Amino acid sequence: MPAGCVFCQIAKGEIPSHIIHRDDDVIAFLDRAPLEHGHVLVMPTAHIETLDDLPDALLASVFGAVRRTSIAVQKALRAGGSFVATNTRISQSVPHLHIHVVPRNKGDGLFSTRLIWQRKKYETDSEMAATAAKIRAAYEAGGDGPG
């Protein structure tokens, strides 16, 4: 655990939090600065910096907990759906892998007023195809991380 990792401290119980789920591999707790009430963070209890670093052995436990959290948030809050996301380095406020599970309802304005996602269109279909081919090749090659 790196010194001062707030999420490691939460996982160890050193910082009080509103825990939704905890087991040996995963902890889920309410975000203290939610996009919507019921916004949950799901993360591995071990210090793993990014999604790219998540060992295959933890994929099922971490993303199983994300799925169960998404279902639970929707049921508990009578939400119409959920938004699930994680950042990898860019915009990652805490360098400890965490997945956001945010309850959603039609008309909640989550993306129209609070978050602005500016779309960048491809200039041509061939540019789009070339980009897809690059990503596909990297996906098929696998590897231990980016670059």
Please report, for the domain that includes residue 132, its CATH number: 3.30.428.10
| Confidence check: pLDDT of 136 > 80 | no
Q: How many domains does the chain have?
A: 1
Asked whether residue 1 is domain-assigned, the answer is no
Length of the chain: 147
94-106: b (≥16 Cβ within 10 Å) or e: eebbbbbbbbbee
Asked whether residue 96 is domain-assigned, the answer is yes
| Confidence check: pLDDT of 147 > 50 | no
What's the pLDDT tens digit per position in 65-123?
Answer: 999 999 998 999 889 999 999 999 988 889 999 999 999 999 887 776 555 554 567 78
pTM of the model: 0.82
What's the pLDDT tens digit per position in 19-46?
Answer: 999 999 999 998 988 888 899 999 999 9
Asked whether residue 37 is domain-assigned, the answer is yes
Asked whether residue 102 is domain-assigned, the answer is yes
Asked whether residue 146 is domain-assigned, the answer is no
Asked whether residue 54 is domain-assigned, the answer is yes
Asked whether residue 147 is domain-assigned, the answer is no
Asked whether residue 44 is domain-assigned, the answer is yes
**Domain of residue 55, residue span:** 6-141
Separation of alpha carbons 138 and 52, rounded Å: 13
